[in-house]
Structure 1
Amino acid sequence: MKRRNNRDVKETYFEGQHLSLSDLKEEEIENGYLYKNNIPAYPESVKFRVQKVSHVTGKQGLRGIFRNSGFRQPSELVASDQRHFLWWDLSVTSDDISSAEERFLTSLFPRRSAAQIQNQSPILNQFTSSKAFQKDSSYGNFRFTFSFKELLWHYGKQFCGDQSPVLRVYETVLYRREVLYKVLVHPHDINLYDHYPRLPDQEDGVCGYDGAMWWRCQAPSETYKLKLEVNKLNRSVYVSPHREEYYVWDHVCVAFHMEPGWVLHVDQNKLLKSVNACETSKPCLLRAPETPLSLNEAERVLAHLKASMR
């Protein structure tokens, strides 16, 4: 199905499903990048286990979060007739990448010797170059990062009567060069989403939750300049140069259901520890009247705010 989102961007979306790239290709969607067959070999379906999530905002959003001691829907979105969500992205660390690479190599070569393991050079960090792995953001200069488990605890305590919230498979959304998997979080007594499947906790599917978010990344780069080479004899992998090719990239975000007026409260000291400045990447998706800042400007704003709260 097709629609325009609240930023007036065209989307192809599939409700209640997390469709893999191969599943999407069977849908016969009009998308030239999805069907490219000249993409060099790369690490596919690499399983990441991610403990943290992040929320990025602009200068006014930063001040609003500290003023409210927590996170809420922007007033201009609350006024709309759309469902109200608080959005978080998976925050993939260098340790997450290293662990994912080890799982990937073990799946390729279950019986590597100690010497083969020691002699293997890291390769996955050369492919994890999409926006899913970058420190900058299209959504602003101020990134709040929390343990996903801790965030679920805060949400459950405040909105779910101390029960664990429900996690569901919400949507797959396809853009021109981006595949987005949406995970939904909501209280048990909100029945709007009963027709969406529960998010799996086992190994089945694109992503799930078992105390950490796991995600099978199928396209870790937007641009491929390297080719993955597999040496079965030596049980090792390496990379070789390749002509530049553009492709789709995939990522996961988490949508917390928020009623108008709800604020997901977090202690001010935890807010201070969780926030850092980052650069704004293109395309800039800040909502007016927010404007992007340079990294130096953002760091000064954040330093001033922290000093004012001591």
Structure 2
Amino acid sequence: MMSQKARDCKRTTFKGQHLSLSDLKEDPYIENRYLSNKSIPAYPESVEFHVQTVSHVTGERGLRGIFLDSGFRQPPELAPNQQRPFIWMSLAVTSDDIRSAEERFLKSLFPHKSPDQIPEHPPVLEHFTSSKAFQEKSSYGNFRFTFSLKELLWHYGEQFCGRQSPVLRVYETVLYKQEIQYTVVVHPRDIDLYDDCPRLPNHGDGVCGYCGVMWWRCQAPSDTYKKKLEVNRFVGRIDVSYHHKEEYYVWDHVCVAFHMEPGWVLNVDRKRLLKRVSACEVAPPCLLRPQETPLSLNEAEHILADIKAKIG
């Protein structure tokens, strides 16, 4: 869940576009000291991830509200002031997703290697996938709901789209101080608020798209680089070594924003909610809503166990 309304910070927004890292770096009107850092060591760029799951993270009050409603709605206190009536989800990249992405990355570098040789190569991506896009912790709360994106799209289509498939569009690119957020909007076919945004591609050279899974070409997997990539195409090997200096950079990620009208609740069976919720630690910076309080992992696990005992 990457609801940006909790933030009070400078951002640059590009509507209807998913601009690549190189596009942003070449824009003469953007001033960003992290983006313009020219000392970043070599790292795995444009690695393609195929991600099946998304997650929504919230605090204790949000957790209890979701179980009370048996689903997800726009927080009532945000509705009067919220210009974008969304439920926010983030791509939930798994360790299997990282392994598969690494295989694709190695095959692209060494196309002449046999399928048996690729898995024998020492791990590479684990040295670089350290941004919040790959972490278990979250800035948005202690409770994470994780679902198959395909499942949520089906629920959304059944409940709000007359049992038709919803529309996915390229909504925006948002550049923060040290973060690039790519937003995909999901909406019913009869909602015309997003007609000026292009359809999300199912293939091609874009930043991300959907073809049963969300594919995402991650361009900046870490916000801090302590290691560097060394590719030896002659012997077909990649080595990872320490960089002489710690370098700070932007990191990128993808959010999926489900359009919600006032009063809408994206219903999910409570037993399904129980299976898909877990506790996590809060990572800095804390971006919980003002009425929420960050908890320790132990406190969050006890609250979750109590809710599961009462419902399950």
Task: Please give the TM-score of this superposition, normalised by the length of structure 1.
Answer: 0.97
Q: Given residue 205 of structure 1, which amino acid in structure 2 is its aligned partner?
A: G
Give the corresponding residue for 2:206: 205
Q: Deviations over 1:199-243 (max 9, x none)?
A: 000122000000000000000011001101111121011200112
Q: 1:179 to 1:81 in 2, by over 3 A?
A: closer
Q: Given residue 268 of structure 1, which amino acid in structure 2 is its aligned partner?
A: R
Work out the number of aligned pairs and report it. 307
Q: Are 2:252 and 1:267 aligned?
A: no
Give the corresponding residue for 2:254: 252
Aligned ranges 1:281-300 → 2 under 5 Å: 281-300=283-302
Give the corresponding residue for 1:100: 101
Q: Given residue 27 of structure 1, which amino acid in structure 2 is its aligned partner?
A: D
Unaligned runs of 5+ in 2: none
Q: Which moved more, 1:290-299 or 1:201-210?
A: 201-210
Contact 1:116 1:235 in 2 (8 A): no
Distance 1:118 1:257 in 2: 41
Q: What is the CA distance between 1:20 and its match in structure 2?
A: 0.4
Q: What is the CA distance between 1:51 and its match in structure 2?
A: 0.1
Contact 2:6 2:289 in 1 (8 A): no
State, as a whole percentage, how many aligned pairs show the same letter. 70
Q: What is the CA distance between 1:288 and its match in structure 2?
A: 1.5
Give the corresponding residue for 1:16: 16
Q: What secondary structure, in the 3-state scheme, does the structure 1 residue paired with 2:77 have?
A: helix
Give the corresponding residue for 1:39: 40
Unaligned runs of 5+ in 1: none
Q: What is the CA distance between 1:83 and its match in structure 2?
A: 2.2
Contact 2:166 2:187 in 1 (8 A): yes
Q: Which moved more, 1:233-242 or 1:205-214?
A: 233-242
Aligned ranges 1:86-235 → 2 under 5 Å: 86-113=87-114, 116-235=117-236
Q: What secondary structure, in the 3-state scheme, does the structure 1 residue paired with 2:99 have?
A: helix
Give the corresponding residue for 2:25: 25
Q: 1:231 to 1:190 in 2, by over 3 A?
A: same
Task: Please give the TM-score of this superposition, normalised by the length of structure 2.
Answer: 0.96
Across the aligned residues of Structure 1 and Structure 2, the Cα RMSD in angstroms comes to: 1.2
Q: What is the CA distance between 1:6 and its match in structure 2?
A: 5.5
Distance 2:133 2:235 in 1: 32
Q: Given residue 151 of structure 1, which amino acid in structure 2 is its aligned partner?
A: L
Q: Which moved more, 1:85-94 or 1:7-16?
A: 7-16
Q: 1:270 to 1:178 in 2, by over 3 A?
A: same
Q: Given residue 34 of structure 1, which amino acid in structure 2 is its aligned partner?
A: L
Distance 1:209 1:306 in 2: 34
Distance 1:27 1:210 in 2: 30
Q: What is the CA distance between 1:5 and its match in structure 2?
A: 5.0
Q: What is the CA distance between 1:114 and its match in structure 2?
A: 5.8
Q: What is the CA distance between 1:117 and its match in structure 2?
A: 2.7
Q: Which moved more, 1:230-239 or 1:51-60?
A: 230-239
Q: Deviations over 1:6-28 (max 9, x none)?
A: 63222101000000011011212
